[in-house]
Amino acid sequence: MAPRFAANLSFLFTELPFLERFRAAAEHGFRAVEFAWEHYELDPAAVRTALQTANLTCALINTPKTNAGEAGCAAHPAKKQEFAQGLQRALEYCKALDCSKLHIMSGPRVAGADLAEQTAVMAENLAMATTLAAEANVVLTLEPICPAAMADYFLQHVDQALDLIARVGRPNLKYQFDVYHAQLTHGNLTETLRRTREVLGHVQVSQLPGRHEPVTADGEVNLDHLYRTLDELGYQGYIGAEYRPRQRTEDNLAWLTAV
């Protein structure tokens, strides 16, 4: 099956105001989108209108940043209430946008809290979150983020994510594989996909070095091989195009029709 790509509107078409990016994505061949945080500044109804007008599917959103601007707080011992509030807000957007996947962001390592404590806090938060998400028919995902992107992010390794998924033991908690983060943190991408196949919930791609357009012929990762591997493993979800365009997004989209 040919890969189905979702334009990550936090990275692509950024020359345009956020709500105009939906139209641009549709006009350039995408049938789905995903995004991080921009929508939280907007009325869900306005985002829904932009999505529906462009006839797009919303593949994934993130939980909100914290009040202090951190990338989530699922692993923060002192911010359980803020996590719960952010989760509720995110699930409201999922409902409004008919979005079935929500990326739970761990937030940073906390000074004075050891790894075991933060892991236990995150597992507790995830147990609560999976219950609420199940009621909304939403799958939660965990994405390890490499130190090169966020030096102090708590969830950095695939084994951390797999440990949390096993601890919580809920079918709607999955692993989110991002080529950029996985390659920079531990490499061995094909094996990572194979050993996470039972809990693989979402995929994001870019090409290295530089996190640019996902073009196999212009980088160190054989993306065609990874797409074949995903097909062999039975992955049927969208693949998020989360990359930094070298120029304007629309000036270099040949890769989208070449796959």
Catalytic residues: 143, 242
| Alpha carbon of residue 64 to chain centroid | 13
Q: Using an 8 Å Cβ cutoff, are 119 and 75 in contact? A: yes
Q: Using an 8 Å Cβ cutoff, are 161 and 144 in contact? A: yes
